[in-house]
Structure 1
């Protein structure tokens, strides 16, 4: 604030004062403005003489003041030097302070940032300290949660599956609450899921072993609780794993002997396949069970509801599709082993296979009809092979036959068989032993009939008859060629004619009798529903007529007496009826339509 001017200053004095103090340097000395004004007023009061002397007086005062200053400077120069040095030092210190202040100002923003960071760290450390204290207080509960993974692994590996599932449910609840905020909970959840997958793998592996029903029920219940598979997927997985186990059992059966292989396969499938069926029926409620329990109109309503629910129907079809595949697998095994050959045990194999097929009727899958073509093919193949073998032996034996030695051999065998004949055993005609080729042929044929008689289906009667007829026709051609190539004398010619007569009137009728024993007419009539009038035509169809079969050697066949012809005609009907009146079981056990042990041994010697 500028000092105020004296109140008694006139305007003229003010103008003079302004003129005297117009210098800028003087104007800056506003501190002495009052003294200047006071001195100016004093000058105004001087006389002219005094004013004239005033410059000199001022000069003298100035000189005096300068002298005083010099004297003061000389007397106090050390003080002035120290003062100057002190001022210099002060100036230097202030310069340093100014530089330091500049540096300080430059460092203030980072310091401020670090201070804020420190504050934040302090807050974080404080929060961590509180969390640590809280963790320490709840140490036991946290330890239990942290040990869930280890405990769950122990339970799964030791097959404590119920406890493992309880732990898994607890982890799921934790995951829903804290997985988004606590990473450790997410890690525990991942570990729990991994051990649940291990548990699922162990349960599925157990389904590949021989397990009892209770254990199977427990395994499926645990898998359902895992909620991994849908219902249809669970059914498929169950059938797949049980199928793997069943196939492993079948693969371990030795394949050296086809009969042993197929019988063992039947036994394994019959036992274990029904176990699987029982387990499946108990584990999964199928619609067919409900449908079978309904009756009348309820079945129609139930069927309509099932048709609307395609998903449920498809699930129920899974089981029967799998059963169909297993039946196809068994039929493939049966077909393969039958092709490899089971020897003379076809009847035993047929009875076991049919019993197996009949057992499947309890689940609505009686597949015995599917096995019939397989056995028909094998039986027809065996008949064809044996008939071909018999014909080959016939041809070979006829080519080596010595007609000169036949008479003596004939009388010896005739006496032997007459003394050993019985009334309950049907033996081949003794007359055939007079000619070795006929006996050899019949022996092979009877051996074939004895092997297949207990397992011979009625449906192959026409094909078997066709094979036999074809064989007789081939025999006639061979005998005709043999007769043309051979040169007989009179006695040999008579024997040859007798040979042809036995072939036509003894061998063919006896084979006819064997055929009717294998395929009884009354059973054919009952099975196929043939009427009595049609039966007469059928008898003519199955009749082996020598004149038709042996056309090539018909000129060599002597005519039969009327009595013998009547016997042959009656043999188509009456022979079978007379046999049934006797003890049928004893005849079969003793070897019906077969040679006795004594006759067979003699035939083999020949």
Structure 2
């Protein structure tokens, strides 16, 4: 703003100098003519003096009038004109400065507003360019594609015609649109008789969809969604039929009907056989019902597919037998051996008719269990005997008179002479309890190992008695030593023979002779089948 004021003052000074020069140089003409504008040549000469840089100065009417007025004035007036002009310029300059100081905020706001307007106009220009270069062409192309031959407008018109056609067939279309709901109702119902209805609807929809794809270029949207909804339920219908086959109570007629319905879902008979046997691979059938489950499956498979021409059925039987044997292994620990072995033997005998006798696998399983239990129980009996023996005190032991008799009872009753010696009595009870348990299932296969383990246990007990006697005899009196010798004789002549007697009852030589083909005498003397009554550990008795 200060620069503007300075330019105004400078221009005023230049005007004053120019006016002075004009007055000085033009005075003869003024005095001679009295009218500067009366001669055009003189006006042109004056204009060139005033505007030397312009070839043809273009003056407006007010400037021409002012120059004309100056031309009519005298020299004195012209000299005073310069002072008057300078005075007017000073007044104008003063007024301009006052106006600028008073309206400074207005000027600043005007400048800011101008910049904002400029920026807004620039943004508006950019938006306009974007509309004209991008949006409008895209809108034009989208509109043309929408109203084109293949556009959405024509597609909507075709759909509208299809809807009108569907509305004309409203009763039939209601049934079609209700098909997904009908299929879901059949699946949710507990009545298996509704499954054929669901399969019938599915077949109708599948055939109709094939016809639509082959003969018509346009399918109504509602009909497409309906057919797709029904086809999505295909896997659920198939799973419902396979789940029905898993029921242990399904009869032969229901099974055949279900298999017939499943043929609609499987392209080949081989794949249907596989899925049938896969659905019968139930793990929830207990051991008692496994036999009937396997035989029912074999009967139903033979009725539905005839003779098996592949390995699926044999694989199914092997997997089921493995499951049965695993289940049997769990039952051995908790059930009685005799009933469980009887059921397993009957199971194997029944399966022998289809070439799947498991008795050869069941017997080693029971034999191994008996051997494991023998080792465990005898180890516990030995530990208990050792603990009781070290707690036994001969000074408090009361021995009846009949305990001197060393004759065995005629029956299997344990000798009463063991009662005063409670370590021997408890050991005898534990061994007899084990033999009674084995007697429920006396397998000859495990007889040698049981006999060997009994011999080892009896020898260990005898050695324990000898060791204990050697360590305690220095502290005994004559009566206690006599009682200890009597306990050793009872152990050798009563306890060991009684265990051997019970063992012979479980595994009699006659039965062993029949099975092994060895004579009865040799079986009675065979160390693998007889509890040895060796006295090599009791030479001091």
Please, what TM-score do these two structures have when normalized by structure 2? 0.59
Q: Distance in 2 between matches of 1:476 and 1:413?
A: 19
3-state SS of paired residue (2:315): helix
- Show the counterpart of 1:94: none
Mapping of 1:182-581 within 5 angstroms? 182-184=217-219, 187=224, 190=228, 193-213=231-251, 214-224=253-263, 226-243=264-281, 246-247=282-283, 249=284, 265-287=286-308, 312-313=309-310, 317-338=311-332, 341-342=333-334, 345-406=336-397, 408-411=398-401, 425-486=411-472, 487=474, 488-531=476-519, 535=523, 538-547=525-534, 550-554=535-539, 556-557=540-541
The 1:501–1:422 alpha-carbon spacing in structure 2 relative to 1, beyond 3 Å, is closer
RMSD: 3.8
The 1:165–1:468 alpha-carbon spacing in structure 2 relative to 1, beyond 3 Å, is closer
The 1:167–1:434 alpha-carbon spacing in structure 2 relative to 1, beyond 3 Å, is closer
The answer to whether the 8 A contact 1:410-1:433 is kept is no
Q: Distance in 1 between matches of 2:527 and 2:435?
A: 22
- Show the counterpart of 1:255: none
- Show the counterpart of 1:302: none
Q: Distance in 2 between matches of 1:211 and 1:355?
A: 22
The answer to whether the 8 A contact 1:442-1:507 is kept is yes
Q: Distance in 2 between matches of 1:161 and 1:437?
A: 73
The answer to whether the 8 A contact 2:402-2:417 is kept is no
The 1:514–1:269 alpha-carbon spacing in structure 2 relative to 1, beyond 3 Å, is same
The CA deviation string for residues 514-536 of structure 1, in whole angstroms up to 9 with x for no partner, is: 11111111111212233567546
The 1:191–1:440 alpha-carbon spacing in structure 2 relative to 1, beyond 3 Å, is closer
The answer to whether the 8 A contact 1:357-1:367 is kept is yes
The 1:167–1:511 alpha-carbon spacing in structure 2 relative to 1, beyond 3 Å, is closer
RCO greater where, 1 or 2, for CA within 8 Å and sep 6 or more? 1
Match of 2:185 among 157, 162, 165: 157
Q: Distance in 2 between matches of 1:174 and 1:478?
A: 91
- Show the counterpart of 2:37: none
How far 1:465 sits from its partner (Å)?
0.8
The 1:483–1:401 alpha-carbon spacing in structure 2 relative to 1, beyond 3 Å, is same
Q: Distance in 2 between matches of 1:195 and 1:405?
A: 86
Q: Distance in 1 between matches of 2:301 and 2:531?
A: 55
Q: Distance in 2 between matches of 1:541 and 1:269?
A: 38
How far 1:218 sits from its partner (Å)?
1.6
Q: Does 1:179 align with 2:213?
A: yes
Q: Distance in 2 between matches of 1:176 and 1:228?
A: 18
3-state SS of paired residue (1:440): helix
The answer to whether the 8 A contact 2:186-2:198 is kept is no
The answer to whether the 8 A contact 2:349-2:359 is kept is yes
Q: Distance in 1 between matches of 2:208 and 2:383?
A: 87
The 1:155–1:395 alpha-carbon spacing in structure 2 relative to 1, beyond 3 Å, is closer
The 1:163–1:387 alpha-carbon spacing in structure 2 relative to 1, beyond 3 Å, is closer
The answer to whether the 8 A contact 2:414-2:498 is kept is yes
The answer to whether the 8 A contact 1:266-1:356 is kept is no
Q: Distance in 2 between matches of 1:388 and 1:178?
A: 81
The 1:166–1:377 alpha-carbon spacing in structure 2 relative to 1, beyond 3 Å, is closer
Mapping of 1:39-50 within 5 angstroms? none
The 1:429–1:165 alpha-carbon spacing in structure 2 relative to 1, beyond 3 Å, is closer
Q: Distance in 2 between matches of 1:443 and 1:516?
A: 17
Higher alpha-carbon deviation: 150-159 or 378-387: 150-159
The 1:171–1:519 alpha-carbon spacing in structure 2 relative to 1, beyond 3 Å, is same
Q: Distance in 1 between matches of 2:374 and 2:279?
A: 43
Q: Distance in 2 between matches of 1:155 and 1:525?
A: 71
The answer to whether the 8 A contact 1:414-1:430 is kept is no
3-state SS of paired residue (2:442): coil
The answer to whether the 8 A contact 2:439-2:506 is kept is yes
How far 1:195 sits from its partner (Å)?
4.3
Q: Distance in 2 between matches of 1:506 and 1:166?
A: 83
The 1:553–1:216 alpha-carbon spacing in structure 2 relative to 1, beyond 3 Å, is same
The 1:230–1:396 alpha-carbon spacing in structure 2 relative to 1, beyond 3 Å, is same
3-state SS of paired residue (1:497): helix
Q: Distance in 2 between matches of 1:531 and 1:546?
A: 21
How far 1:170 sits from its partner (Å)?
4.8
The answer to whether the 8 A contact 1:387-1:471 is kept is yes
How far 1:209 sits from its partner (Å)?
3.8
Where does structure 1 differ by over 4 angstroms across 4 or more consecutive aligned residues?
163-178, 188-192, 412-415, 531-534
The answer to whether the 8 A contact 1:207-1:216 is kept is yes
Q: Distance in 2 between matches of 1:463 and 1:474?
A: 16
How far 1:171 sits from its partner (Å)?
4.9
The CA deviation string for residues 270-291 of structure 1, in whole angstroms up to 9 with x for no partner, is: 444443333333222124xxxx
The answer to whether the 8 A contact 1:477-1:552 is kept is yes
Q: Distance in 1 between matches of 2:210 and 2:395?
A: 108
The answer to whether the 8 A contact 2:348-2:358 is kept is yes
Q: Distance in 2 between matches of 1:216 and 1:330?
A: 24
Please, what TM-score do these two structures have when normalized by structure 1? 0.54
